[in-house]
Amino acid sequence: MHFGMTEEQAMIVDTTRAFVENELYPHELEVERTGHLDMDLIRDIQKKAMEAGLYAANMPEEVGGAGLDTLSWLLYEKELGRANYALHWTGVARPSNILLAGTEEQKEKYLYPCMKGEKWDCLAMTEPGAGSDLRGMKASARQDGDDWILNGTKHFISHADIADFSIVFMASGEEDTPRGPKKKITAFFVDKGTPGFTIREGYRNVSHRGYTNAVLEFDDCRLPSSAILGEVDKGFDVANTWLGATRLQVAATCLGRAERALQHATEYAAERKQFGQLIGKFQGVSFKLADMALELKAANLLTWEAGWKFDQGTVTETDMSMAKLKATEMLAFVADEAIQIHGGMGLMDELPLERIWRDARVERIWEGTSEIQRHIISREMLRALGA
């Protein structure tokens, strides 16, 4: 593996970082204090992101994206991750690559408008009673002639309030397995405004202010068979094929935020004086900086290795789980230590540290909890021994 960046990758990093610092940083404080992201601001950022070639950069060239390899895409995500999540996720949108699994008709209706910034998508899996255990979902879809009838509730659905359509995963049957009955899952496109489909305001979140979540309710919501994404009862196959890299995306954004926090802490330690000398000269501070840098580098290496292996076609679930687990837990550690080095000032919202600290908490929960990642890693270790 080559550890240096190519010229193209260095350009991606420089371009994205400059965009983040010039176009996103100036709006962070207002979004954090109000918890609101104005649509005019989103459109303004969106326009500038398109002009800079950063919009939908995660997608293949054949559908209008940048065609980045996985490692380059993760470098791009890392730079975006430095900023408030709502600003970079809605303004510099990256349509879900699960849209690539659609038919040509579905791509015309959903994918291409997302690529042009005309529509936003959202994914709906989680339910009040089914978080880590997605097979436990109760929201269901039953066939009625050529149509399907959807009933149930989804929650914690990110930015569903601005999404023009949702990709919803529903229990569509049951199958017998050696470990007992297991739900079959089917994925559906559901347009906003479809009768029987209601979007309600979600919960106020301590992390990622401005990045809203919603509750989706389905009450005899009727859809044609053409709304199915993939095949009937094969929703998990679609999800596993197209959503695997999202754990690496989470890891990459955590790296960006941790790097920003460490930079603040290092600069502060190099200029703040107490007891007649710079605080960076005290081992109580300097050793913290060393440990923060060590943990950040370890998380970087795990993430870049997983990205590189993804491009080689050799990545495993363990690779991605290790990257996600290490990066998210590293961010929590670095954010906490950065605040400790700053003392009381670290908790003031004039600095981004208290935001990074708050935002870090959700990263160990969504896209698979830390416990789920440890389960995946240990399961692969034990399977190798036949256990």
**Which listed residue (61, 317, 367, 380) is catalytic?**
367
The strand ranges marked E within the chain are 121-124, 140-144, 147-158, 165-177, 180-191, 197-201, 213-224, 228-229, 273-274, 277-278
Q: Which residues are within 8 A (CB) of 94 and not within 5 positions of it... i.e. 6 or more apart?
A: 56, 57, 58, 59
Contact criterion met (CB below 8 Å) for 117 and 108: no
Token representation of residue 17: 């970082």
Residue 234 exposed, middle or buried by CB count within 10 Å (0-12, 13-18, 19+): middle
- Burial track 116-155 (b if 16+ CB lie within 10 A, e otherwise): ebebbbbbbbbbeebbeebeebebbbeeeeeebbbbbbbb
Q: How far is CA 367 from CA 170, 175, 292, 320, in A?
A: 18, 26, 24, 11
What single DSSP character describes residue 343? G
Q: Is 354 a catalytic residue?
A: no
Please spell the DSSP secondary structure of 6-73, one letter per residue: PHHHHHHHHHHHHHIIIIIHHHHHHHHHH----HHHHHHHHHHHHHTT-TTTTS-GGGTS----HHHH
Active site residues: 367
